[in-house]
Amino acid sequence: ATQSRAAARSQREQWEEVVANDLRQMTAYERIEMDQDVRGKNRLAACAPQFTLSLALKNIQRELRTRRRELEMNTAASSSSESGSYDSSAALATDAMHRLILNQREVVENTDILVRFVRADRLDATKAANRLLEYYSMVVDLFGEVALRRARILLDDLDLQQKKILE
């Protein structure tokens, strides 16, 4: 029994050494991020200094403008070369949805909305832009274009059947 305890202690000490080595190789930011991931919290993005947050907001706005320009160029190019495949039709539908979203000033210029997406993706503007486009595509699919003109979905946006489900 004493020998098995010693073996277990030795095994535990080896694992602790492996974890300690991994932690020593991480930056302070990576350690905090890992701790928050383990705990299911992301305090770093929520407590980001105002300067960092304003920089992230500028980055996501720049990313959204870039995507709008790319969509406009893709639309011009695709209108000159019509393709009838299902994939190209699906891509055009997605592009049209994203263009609709990116042209809504209520979405792309509302810092309260953008902050939520930037914080959710740890101040990464590219990931936040992807998340924003996916989210608002779903909102338009479920509630129509009217939902883009408001920051929140209202009870009035639901039809009678959806309201009954919520009751």
Top-confidence residue, 5 or 165: 165
pLDDT, one tens digit per residue, over 84-94 is 554 566 676 77
What is the tens place of the pLDDT at every residue in 88-135? Answer: 666 767 777 888 888 888 788 888 888 888 887 878 899 999 989 888
Mean pLDDT of 8-14: 68
Mean pLDDT, the chain, integer: 76
User: Given this model, what pLDDT does residue 126 score?
Assistant: 93
Q: Distances from the Cα of 29 to the Cαs of 32, 35, 55, 121, 135, in angstroms?
A: 5, 10, 18, 15, 28
49 versus 109: the higher-pLDDT residue is 109
| Mean pLDDT, range 39-43, rounded to an integer | 57
Task: Give the CA distances from residue 26 to residues 33, 37, 104, 116, in Å, rounded to whole numbers and listed in that order.
Answer: 10, 15, 41, 27
54-79 residue pLDDT tens:
888 999 999 999 999 988 887 777 66
